Amino acid sequence: MVVGIDEVECGKGWAKLYTPLFQLCKLLNVEVLQVKEKFGGLRFYVGGVPNEQFDMVYAFIDAVEAQSYKVCEECGIRNGASREGDKTYTRVKVTTEGGWILTLCEQCRKERDDKAAEQLARRKNQDGQQEGEG
């Protein structure tokens, strides 16, 4: 199965990360099999990489996947990057755990948490009273 750039299974904040990879793959006639988020990081799966380009392609993918841990998946903000390369700080600032790990900036994490809290409150409300909503 080959996927297009509009079929990725991760947030648009990472578009600037995976777009150059799609361009590289197109250039080299390499198949993009899947693009998704896993454990807070970008995963870019390819197939049919020519032997002579194997190292280059996978080095490129590795570098981009590593970058994704510092970039908000939702809005693309590169968070904490100015803090003299402290990876721990960066990860703590952008990674949220709520059943699963997501790499989000503070703003997007707050929005996500607020939405989750709102849904929970609505569910509780519905249990208590039958209320129609438009």
Among 8, 64, 72, 102, binds Zn ion (CB under 5 A): 72
Report the alpha-carbon distance of residue 87 to residue 83 in Å, rounded. Answer: 9
Helix (H) or strand (E) segment spanning residue 96:
strand 95-97
105 belongs to the binding site for Zn ion (CB under 5 A):
yes
Supply the minimum distance, in Å, between the C-beta of residue 11 and Zn ion.
Answer: 9
Report the alpha-carbon distance of residue 75 to residue 94 in Å, rounded. Answer: 12
Find all residues with CB under 8 Å of 14, minimum gap 6, and list them.
8, 37, 42, 68, 71, 73, 76
Among 3, 5, 75, 101, binds Zn ion (CB under 5 A): 75
The residues in 2-61 that bind Zn ion, with binding defined as CB under 5 A, are none
User: Which residue's CB is nearer to Zn ion, number 44 or number 95?
Assistant: 95
51 and 34 Cβ atoms separated by less than 8 Å? no
Stretch that binds Zn ion, among 35-43, 59-67, 72-80, 111-119 (CB under 5 A): 72-80
Where on the chain is the footprint of Zn ion (CB under 5 A)?
72, 74-75, 77, 105, 108
